[in-house]
Structure 1
Amino acid sequence: MSAWLGFFKKEWTESVKSYKLLLTILIFSVLGILNPFTAKITPAIMENFMPEGTVLNLPEPTALDSWLQFYKNFPQMGLFIFILLFSTMMSKELEKGTLVILLTKGLRRSTVITAKFATGFSYWTLAFMLTFIITYSYTAFYWDQTIVQHVFLAAGCVYVFGLLLFTITLWGNTYFASAYGGLLVTVIAVITLFIIAIFPETASWNPLQLLTSPPRMLTGEVALKEMRTPCIIAISALFVFLLATIFHFNKKRL
Structure 2
Amino acid sequence: MIAFCAFVRKEIVELIRNKRLIILLAIFTIFAILGPLTAVLTPWILETMSDLLESSGVTVNGITITVLDSWTQYYKNLPILLIVFVLMFAGLFTKEYARGTFELIISKGMSRNKIYFAKMLTVLGTWTICYIAYFLISLAYNVSLWDNRVAQHWGIAAFLYWIFGVYVIIGMVSVSGFSASVSGVLIGTGVFAVMPELIGILPKITKYMPTQLTSGILILTGSIKPNDRIESIVVTAILCFVAGGIGAKGFSKKQL
Tell me how far apart the structure 2 counterparts of residues 86 and 167 of structure 1 sit (CA, whole Å): 12
Specify the alignment match of 2:125 in structure 1: 122
Is 2:237 the partner of 1:250?
no
Q: Determine helix, strand or coil for the equivalent of 2:51.
A: coil
Change (3 A) 1:204 1:251: same
**1:58-73 correspondence to structure 2 within 5 Å:** 58-73=62-77
Tell me how far apart the structure 1 counterparts of residues 47 and 175 of structure 2 sit (CA, whole Å): 47
**Maintained 8 Å contact 1:164/1:234:** yes
Is 2:165 the partner of 1:173?
no
Change (3 A) 1:34 1:105: same
Tell me how far apart the structure 1 counterparts of residues 25 and 181 of structure 2 sit (CA, whole Å): 26
Aligned counterpart in structure 1 of residue 97 of structure 2, from 88, 91, 94 = 94
Q: Determine helix, strand or coil for the equivalent of 2:124.
A: helix
**Maintained 8 Å contact 2:53/2:60:** no
Amino acid at match of 2:254: K
Is 2:36 the partner of 1:31?
no
**Maintained 8 Å contact 1:168/1:182:** no
Displacement of 1:24: 1.3
Tell me how far apart the structure 2 counterparts of residues 25 and 190 of structure 1 sit (CA, whole Å): 23
Specify the alignment match of 2:227 in structure 1: 225
Cα deviation, 1:179-199, whole Å, max 9, x if unaligned, reads: 111110111123322211222
Tell me how far apart the structure 2 counterparts of residues 102 and 182 of structure 1 sit (CA, whole Å): 22
Aligned counterpart in structure 1 of residue 138 of structure 2, from 118, 135, 138 = 135
Cα deviation, 1:10-63, whole Å, max 9, x if unaligned, reads: 111111122111101100011111111111101111121232694622332111
**Maintained 8 Å contact 2:157/2:219:** yes
Sequence identity, in percent? 31
Tell me how far apart the structure 1 counterparts of residues 239 and 144 of structure 2 sit (CA, whole Å): 38
Specify the alignment match of 2:160 in structure 1: 157
CA RMSD of superposed structures (Å): 1.4
Unaligned runs of 5+ residues in structure 1 are none
Tell me how far apart the structure 2 counterparts of residues 170 and 181 of structure 1 sit (CA, whole Å): 12
**Maintained 8 Å contact 2:171/2:243:** yes
Tell me how far apart the structure 1 counterparts of residues 61 and 202 of structure 2 sit (CA, whole Å): 38
TM superposition outliers: structure 1 runs of 4+ over 2 Å:
52-56
Change (3 A) 1:53 1:103: closer
Displacement of 1:158: 0.6
Tell me how far apart the structure 1 counterparts of residues 40 and 120 of structure 2 sit (CA, whole Å): 38
Amino acid at match of 1:207: P
Report how many aligned residue pairs link the two structures. Answer: 252
**Maintained 8 Å contact 2:124/2:166:** yes
Change (3 A) 1:51 1:59: closer
**1:204-223 correspondence to structure 2 within 5 Å:** 204-211=207-214, 213-223=215-225
Is 2:6 the partner of 1:2?
no
Specify the alignment match of 2:84 in structure 1: 81
Higher mean alpha-carbon deviation, 4-13 vs 186-195, is at 186-195
Specify the alignment match of 1:190 in structure 2: 193
Cα deviation, 1:147-166, whole Å, max 9, x if unaligned, reads: 10010110111100111101
